[in-house]
Amino acid sequence: MKTTQMTAAEIAARTARFDALQPMSTMKDNDRVVQAAKDIIFARKLMPIVLERTKNPFGDTAAIFGAGGLTMNISVCPPGQGPGLHCHHNTYETFFVLEGAFEFYVGDRGEERVRLNQWDTFSCLPGVCRGFVNVADRDSVLLTVITGDVHARDDVTLPPVMAERLEAIQPGVVPEFEALGLAFTAGIVK
C-alpha cells in the first residue's frame, strides 16, 4: 500500500508548540461583557490546538487545522472558575486533567457530579449538559477533545438556567452571547 510523504513545511504546519498557542478569539476584545459573565460560559484561558475550518461559536484560531472532525483545546482555569452547563448535541467531549482538579456537573441543572484529579478522564456523551469548575487552590489545566462529524462543531447550546446566571451577573448581556451563535435552548422540549 502506498504511503504519503510529508515535507518539512507540512510537518511544521501540523505541529503545535505550547509556548506559541494563542487564546481562543471568542469575546477576547468585547468590552461590553464583564469578565464574570465570560467566566461562566468559557474557560478563562482557552487555547485551541486543533480545529476544523467550520462554523462554530468559539472562535477560529488554532495551531493546526483539519483532523477528521477532531477538536483539541487546553483550558487553564483559576480556582473557582470554569465554563457552566452546555450541551454538545452531536459530538463527544472528552476531558483529561493535566494539572490540578476539576469538578464536573452533569444534567440539565447539573444534578450529578464527579471530581477529576490529575490524569483522570471523563468522556461525555452527545446530548448531555455538562459544565466544570476548578476545585484546586491553584490554576488547573484541562485537555479537551471533541470528536464527531467535521461539520458538527456548532452543535452547542446552553440550558435556560445559564441565561438566568448571565442576567444575574450583567442584565441585558444574553444577546451578546446569542450574537456568537449560542442558543439557550438545551433541554427545552418542543
Q: Which residue has the higher pLDDT, 152 or 73?
A: 73
Taking the C-alpha atoms of residue 153 and residue 145, their distance in angstroms, rounded to an integer, is 12
pLDDT at position 153 is 73
pLDDT at position 58 is 65
Q: 111-147: per-residue pLDDT in tens?
A: 999 999 999 999 999 999 999 999 999 999 999 999 9
Among residues 57, 62, 26, 31, the alpha carbon closest in space to that of 44 is found at 26
Asked whether the beta carbons of 49 and 21 are under 8 A apart, the reply is: yes
C-alpha cell belonging to residue 38: 465570560
Taking the C-alpha atoms of residue 62 and residue 41, their distance in angstroms, rounded to an integer, is 19
Q: 28-79: per-residue pLDDT in tens?
A: 778 899 999 999 999 999 999 998 887 766 677 889 998 888 999 999 999 9
Among residues 89, 158, 151, the alpha carbon closest in space to that of 124 is found at 89
pTM confidence score: 0.91
Q: Which residue has the higher pLDDT, 57 or 12?
A: 12
